[in-house]
Structure 1
Amino acid sequence: MARVLSLFRQKPFLAHVGRRKPTLCKMSMDSRARMMFAAAVEAVHPDTVVRQAIERKEDSIMINGHKFTLKHNLHLVGFGKAVLGMAAEAERILGDHLVKGIISVPHDIQQTLKQHGKDHLLLKENSRIKVMEGAKHNLPDADAQKAAEEIKQLTSELTENDLLLVLISGGGSALLPAPIPPITLQEKHEVTRKLAGAGATIQELNTVRRSLSSLKGGGLAHCAHPAQVVSLILSDVIGDPLDFIASGPTVRSEVWHEEVLSVLERYKLLDSLPASVKDVLGSPGPRWRENKESNASGHVLNAVIGSNSIALQCAGRRARELGFRPVVLAPGVCGDVRAVSRLYGLLARFACSREEPPPEIAAELLRLGPDVGVESWDLCRTMQVLGEGRTEGWGSTALLAGGEPTVELTGMGRGGRNQELALRVGLELKGLEVPPNGPVFLSGGTDGQDGPTDAAGAITDAGLYEEAESQGLDINSFLTYNDSYTFFTRLSNGQRLLVPGLTCTNVMDVHMLLIPPIPITIR
């Protein structure tokens, strides 16, 4: 610990050469935070990420540095909440080289996009792509299974002369249910539901889910062999692990039945398994053997084209334009929302200290790091930069992060993790008076929705507690009932809520801690 603490006291991590103070901006911190959030979301719009990923030449396309020849040989499949917009843009780019396509998208999404004026994310009338809606309430259903069957049929008919473009986004797992016969969709759902209820980790759930599916865990790519497969992925998972996003249909993941049975035994579910599941898991060894020809030819390219990191980079560019020095903490903040709020409260106190902050703050931050998914190195780097901002008069700083914290439900109120995080950070900032209106904290979901509300999150600052008290609102009571949305709706007529509307994308959450210039105490 002492060795790590010493790192941020040493020479600055960044060279001073070429540094310029950001220009001052007269807009409020609140307004600039909203503009940065909008830039983050815009950067990962489904049509934007596809347009930036596919470089069209006359008779070829370049994707992630790889060239693919077009000979009216391209087929397209996709599954996920953002895939309709991705497919519309892909078809505009690919033109008549696209032979046929099938996409599995959420129930009623086409009508929803029309109602919100998002026509640019809809397919044209004479599209060669078939749209199949399903997974009502984000659960696999018969409609989604039918779409998965048609996708499987299309891919299994491809030859070595074909190119398959696969579009994947969050929600893709529920939209591509294809249980291995004789397992039924209901039986597979029951097994995973019981496993989740028993407290299984997401890794364990994915292990079991893949073992019971014919398309997940590389199954789709297996069906498409020997065609060339290119997957464009919009990630909604921390760290962008390819085998986790939509359960990795184009990422080879050899499933050993012994491992799956071990997970089920750990949670005492073996005796309650349906006969069909026991039948599928009964044979030892992996679900399929190594396909040496497939691996040698490298017939699959997986490219993450949209992620939380990309959103933060674009938010950082906007921050600089608005007069801030951007600092990215981490794109994988996770863990209990109470610990995460404590992290941001400590960072604010560290940055806003008029003198050298006490070492206890840095020590507590480093202890918190492992619990909230932030590496010690990233915390030290961030403290170093925040310290420079305080001692060298850098002006305003925008600390950016992302991820997906969790909330322990203790009540039946309305709201989501972003609104609760903002509310808890507001409490952490209590008494931290920095003129004229900072620090300011924003937490927002890039999918435009935070829990069962029309808000994506909220904005808070050091004055939140006094403002709530003056309006007769007891913050702790609202937190006890997980009722953050009601709190922010009642506080100053909901002015602190973040309501961007339908975003048509999702790369988890974006957090922003805006630090104003700190007056230095001269001894």
Structure 2
Amino acid sequence: MARVLSLFRPRPLLALFGVRKAALCRMSLDSRAREVFAEAVESVQPDVAVQRSIERKENSLIVNGRSFTLKNNLHLVGFGKAVLGMAAEAERVLGDQLVNGVISVPHGIQEKFRQHGKDHMLLKDNSRIKVMEGAEHNLPDADAQRAADYIKNVAVGLTEEDLLLVLISGGGSALLPAPIPPISLQEKQDVTRRLAGAGATIQELNTVRRALSLLKGGGLAQCAHPAQVVALILSDVIGDPLDLIASGPTVWKPVGAEEVLSVLDRYKLSASLPGSVKEVLGRASPRWEENKDPSGRAERVLNTVIGSNSIALRCAGRRARELGFRPVVLSLGVCGDVRSVSRLYGLLARFACSRDEPPPELAAEVLELGPEVGVESWDLCRTMQVLGEGRTEGWGATCLLAGGEPTVELKGKGRGGRNQELALRVGLELRGMELPPNGPVFLSGGTDGQDGPTEAAGAVIDGGLWEKARAQGLDIDGSLANNDSFTFFSNLSGGQNLLSPGLTGTNVMDVHMLLIPPIPIKIR
């Protein structure tokens, strides 16, 4: 009898699973969404990204499978919003081999890190790396240009025996302004500002910007030749195009003079260019005219993306699975107006939570929205297939993840950012929906911890947002009309819906998350 009873006793592993499952059931969807977001941010912390990407083996540096000899020949430069933390970790690993270094970082960032208790992202007092702050309000200025001159001087003095480690992150373009003489910084800014005002695309802007810059478009790598250059890049651009991240200072990108003039002609700016710009564009420069890499210099450069939205979402998906969800990534490139993006998420929520087969017109509208929000039809079809299977086969909870950087049309004078406005608009899209218990939950957050001019990174909402707002006398439509999402969420339930991780020290764009709880199967 005892033998028979023992067969029905729970195994230790099954018992542990039962305890874990019970613990997960006690966690709200809101709490689990915040945990998944925290994991996404943690995975792309500057120090974590550097630590994951470089390996020190005695007198060798291993990066992306390639080995570089270390013999007190290491020089370091960097520029961007996240390079302070990257530099601190790089010096911890490689400091005894470091000859010198200089990094260009945003104005006031060291004091902000101290205030937020992020001392691990600060360099030690005896560091061999010089920290220069500039680009206040994310605009190139004299301080940033001074830092760019220091960085250029480090690069031009290198030999074939030297190794230049370049740390790059978002914001690096504004922190590395080096116009080709005799162009002044103000003249270069005026040209690019007028181009942007005339409606030039980001590709056209970068074409002109590179042509007028000493260090962008591979210029820094050229200055460092014949040294070996290794660039560690934290990407804040959709698709991780190396030539666009900080305008590609280590990426060889030939720019033909005719191509530059064609862009300027297109927007009727050629005749009104400053004399200095005309002089530079009129020079016969092998950097512009060569179609091939001169002297095989690109072979001496290794560019490696060590942190990106893709990495953040992959780690977020792993944490989501640990918390009891089946993760599915919709897209890494969600863009376009937040009104269209919120409509997409609202439709996907309705598709996933419907107890009956969703009407064909719902899926058709999802596919129609795809081009407006930067999502391929294939990804939408794949996602709807997964959500449909989850609904009909009773998988349990699903975590839909996406990344990107939508835009907001500013009409009002309120406070908020694209993530808070997106969350608020999704809450409006879910109004009147037949809701499953405890869901769905939507989160939108900026990985840098700052959403617009506010202290929040974004917000977390559920399908009952509209009813809660009405009960508390809050006007969603008025808040949206005034771009005042932060004030709305601050007043809703004492600010409980705000996502406020504080300054993170990194930036790989935004994370969007839609948590779908288990849908009760309808008995026919």
Coarse TM-score class (shorter-chain normalised): over 0.9
C-alpha distance in 2 between matches for 1:145 and 1:511: 36
C-alpha distance in 2 between matches for 1:439 and 1:268: 51
Partner of 2:57: 57
Partner of 1:274: 274
Q: Secondary structure in 2 aligned to 1:104?
A: strand
2:407 aligned with 1:406:
yes
Superposed counterparts of 1:57-456, under 5 Å: 57-283=57-283, 287-288=287-288, 289=290, 294-295=295-296, 298-456=299-457
Change (3 A) 1:156 1:448: same
User: In structure 1, what residue type is equivalent to 2:237?
Assistant: V
> 1:283-307 CA deviation, whole Å, 9 max, x = no partner?
4676343675642771011000000
Whether contact under 8 Å (1:208, 1:260) holds in the other structure is yes
Q: Secondary structure in 2 aligned to 1:229?
A: strand
**Post-superposition offset of 1:417:** 0.5
Whether contact under 8 Å (2:353, 2:436) holds in the other structure is no
Change (3 A) 1:465 1:150: same
Q: Secondary structure in 1 aligned to 2:85?
A: helix
> 1:251-284 CA deviation, whole Å, 9 max, x = no partner?
0111112211221222222232111111111246
C-alpha distance in 2 between matches for 1:411 and 1:400: 30
Whether contact under 8 Å (1:257, 1:287) holds in the other structure is no
Higher mean alpha-carbon deviation, 20-29 vs 367-376, is at 20-29
Partner of 2:14: none
Higher mean alpha-carbon deviation, 482-491 vs 418-427, is at 482-491
RMSD (CA atoms): 1.6
Higher mean alpha-carbon deviation, 357-366 vs 162-171, is at 357-366
Give ranges in structure 2 of 5+ residues lacking alignment. Answer: 1-16
**Post-superposition offset of 1:69:** 1.3
- Percent same amino acid at aligned positions? 77
> 1:364-417 CA deviation, whole Å, 9 max, x = no partner?
111111111111111111111111111111111000001000111111111010
Whether contact under 8 Å (1:243, 1:251) holds in the other structure is yes
Higher mean alpha-carbon deviation, 245-254 vs 371-380, is at 371-380
User: In structure 1, what residue type is equivalent to 2:416?
Assistant: G
C-alpha distance in 2 between matches for 1:100 and 1:238: 33
Whether contact under 8 Å (1:398, 1:514) holds in the other structure is yes
Q: Secondary structure in 2 aligned to 1:332?
A: strand
C-alpha distance in 2 between matches for 1:96 and 1:253: 34
Higher mean alpha-carbon deviation, 38-47 vs 296-305, is at 296-305
C-alpha distance in 2 between matches for 1:319 and 1:297: 40
Whether contact under 8 Å (1:82, 1:504) holds in the other structure is yes
C-alpha distance in 1 between matches for 2:191 and 2:287: 18
User: In structure 1, what residue type is equivalent to 2:382?
Assistant: R
C-alpha distance in 2 between matches for 1:435 and 1:265: 57
Partner of 1:38: 38
**Post-superposition offset of 1:95:** 2.6
Partner of 1:514: 515
Q: Secondary structure in 1 aligned to 2:26?
A: coil
User: In structure 2, what residue type is equivalent to 1:266?
Assistant: R
Whether contact under 8 Å (1:25, 1:322) holds in the other structure is no
Whether contact under 8 Å (1:225, 1:294) holds in the other structure is no
**Post-superposition offset of 1:63:** 0.7
**Post-superposition offset of 1:62:** 1.1
Q: Secondary structure in 1 aligned to 2:444?
A: strand
Whether contact under 8 Å (1:434, 1:518) holds in the other structure is no
User: In structure 1, what residue type is equivalent to 2:334?
Assistant: V
Whether contact under 8 Å (2:235, 2:508) holds in the other structure is yes
Partner of 2:7: none
Whether contact under 8 Å (1:256, 1:285) holds in the other structure is no
Change (3 A) 1:462 1:343: same
**Post-superposition offset of 1:517:** 0.4
C-alpha distance in 1 between matches for 2:520 and 2:292: 65
Whether contact under 8 Å (2:394, 2:518) holds in the other structure is yes
User: In structure 1, what residue type is equivalent to 2:222?
Assistant: H
Whether contact under 8 Å (2:76, 2:164) holds in the other structure is yes
Whether contact under 8 Å (1:226, 1:294) holds in the other structure is no
User: In structure 2, what residue type is equivalent to 1:490?
Assistant: N
C-alpha distance in 2 between matches for 1:509 and 1:263: 31
Partner of 1:470: 471
Partner of 1:10: none
Whether contact under 8 Å (2:235, 2:245) holds in the other structure is yes
C-alpha distance in 1 between matches for 2:313 and 2:464: 26
Change (3 A) 1:286 1:258: farther
Change (3 A) 1:517 1:183: same
Change (3 A) 1:160 1:357: same
**Post-superposition offset of 1:522:** 2.5
Whether contact under 8 Å (2:81, 2:505) holds in the other structure is yes
Aligned length: 504
Change (3 A) 1:472 1:297: closer
Change (3 A) 1:480 1:286: farther
Change (3 A) 1:477 1:286: farther
Give ranges in structure 1 of 5+ residues lacking alignment. Answer: 1-19
Q: Secondary structure in 2 aligned to 1:390?
A: helix
Partner of 1:15: none
- Compute the TM-score of the two structures, normalised by the length of structure 1: 0.94
User: In structure 2, what residue type is equivalent to 1:319?
Assistant: A
C-alpha distance in 1 between matches for 2:74 and 2:285: 35
C-alpha distance in 2 between matches for 1:297 and 1:133: 30
**Post-superposition offset of 1:486:** 1.1
Whether contact under 8 Å (2:222, 2:297) holds in the other structure is no
**Post-superposition offset of 1:440:** 0.5
> 1:421-453 CA deviation, whole Å, 9 max, x = no partner?
001100111122323210000000001011110
Q: Secondary structure in 1 aligned to 2:372?
A: helix
Change (3 A) 1:268 1:32: same
